[in-house]
Amino acid sequence: MRIQGQGTSFGSGGNRQDSQRSRRFRMAHRAGQKVRGTVVAWEEPGLAWVEIDGHRLLAAISQDAALGLERQFLIVRLEPDIMLRELTAGSKGLDVLV
Q: Could you tell me the pTM of the whole model? A: 0.68
Going along the chain from its start, the domains and CATH numbers come out as 8-84 (2.40.50)
Which residue did the predictor score with more confidence, 67 or 3?
67
**Sheet hosting strand 47-52, strand order edge to edge:** 8-10, 82-87, 70-77, 34-44, 47-52, 55-60
Return the beta strands (E) in the chain as ranges: 8-10, 34-44, 47-52, 55-60, 70-77, 82-87
Rounded CA separation 48/23 (Å):
20
pLDDT tens-digit series, residues 11-61: 434 456 567 878 899 999 999 999 999 999 999 988 889 999 989 988 888
Longest dimension (CA), the chain: 37
